[in-house]
A and B are shown apart, each in its own frame.
Chain A
Amino acid sequence: MEPVTQQLELLGKTVAKVSDEQARVGETLFRARCRTFGTPPPVASANRRVWGTLAAVTAATALAAGVWIYVRSRPPAMSPIVTYQLAGNSTAAAPSFFETKHNDLEVRFSEGSVITVLPETGVRVLDTKPQGVNLSIERGIVRCNIRHRANTDWTVKAGPFDIRVTGTRFEAEWVPTTSHFELTLEEGSVEVTGPHVSGTQRVVKGERFTVEVNRGEKSLVGLGLVPAPSAQVTSVELPVAQPDIAEPIVRSATVDWSTLAKAGKYREALSIVDRLGFDVVLQRSDAATARLLADASRMGGKPKQAQQAFLFLRERLHVKAETAFVLGKISADQLNTPAQAYRWFDTYLREQPKGPLREQALGRSLELSKYAPRNQLLANAREYLTAFPSGAHAPLARKTLGQTTDAR
């Protein structure tokens, strides 16, 4: 293979790795899923309701006689399935989807687990395996009583959330129209992954975990206690008028722009900040909050506000060095003020001569050579080659010294 091809492949692997580390796959897929399948699954037509009623009556009769029945499952057009018993090694049957209208529906599985599907709920069995089932709550509420055994392995999906179950009783709800997720543990514990959940969220007996995905809010409370907002709620509190919500779901009036910002939803976060007043939010911020606001402004395409926030950090909160470096990047990359950019990189180098961003600050300074005093330019080039002889900007440093020496 040509050496240059090999080098391109190595570069490509680096790029892919960085891309994968930065990606928020779960949230992206959740939003894509909502856009693609925005409407709930179709309800059975009038003709099929007759069949559904007959099947329900039949099943009730069979149940009364102590007979467990299996019902052939078909695509959503078929009547709701009444009861199941999971066969350990079932083959050649179709996945099942069922939904309820006015009554509960109990579904029993051969390994002893039972789920109760409450009214107005749609459930899909995605997959079966010897140790458990993958179930999807498409909408509504399901009560699960999953039998614990040594190798129990159930996954209950509720919208974009995955609940990993090894044996417990809980109730899970997913409302796709409002992106509301709620999980109440009655026995045992589960682990939850999904939007606004860092890593996994463990929920134990007696706790209720709620996530309002669209608002970026979550809470974990003990049952019977007054719900409190999650720890990430911002320090800025203002009343929020929500006339379109008939039943208030949010348990706090706190506006949580910071949670949106931490989730990477910069534009949404900044629109809330705009309503609150950027200056007001900034003035009330501690260093961490001001830094979050500054980064959100930079990533959300508001470099002037970002600059203001970083200047606030420096001048009012005395956060030096790195703020100078980032101000340099904002000036160079977003505001197109290279002279100012050079001054900020130079400031960083004076405030933290041996700092972690030294190589990059020196390198960026060399790139902005025409804004640097001659002596400083030469000094930076020499310093770069001494400290980072194999660095990314080493060729530029050598060229700087060569050109300057020849010209003078």
Chain B
Amino acid sequence: MPKPSHARPLSPHLQVYRMGLPATLSILHRLTGMVLYGGCVLWAMVLVGMCLGSSAAVYAILHTPLGYVVSMAWVGALYYHLLNGIRHLFWDVGKGFELSQAYLSGWLVVGFTLLLTAGTWGWLLAV
């Protein structure tokens, strides 16, 4: 499409409408997806590092404070994206579209994400 000669104004949206839970969780799904992809780039680098014989170095880097922070954030994003993804799959077969259901499933996703992330890291770091 050719670029228009005048940039026409957009109708305001974020400045006008309040984003409820469904909209917030939707953009969070996209954001966690991007974060997860970035983590998978690191995962590929970890695999390459290991196969080149540097697993000790890889392991050491993972166990630095930054390594822990990045890994915890990635696992948190993973749980959120997984649970909200399942919520999406239910919508794909037509279930759960009522507003009350969307809010209920939304809060369940948030709650279980926090629970699973905290639980996983409690278990990983306790042993």
- Chain B associates with chain A: no
A-to-B contact residues, CB < 8 Å: none
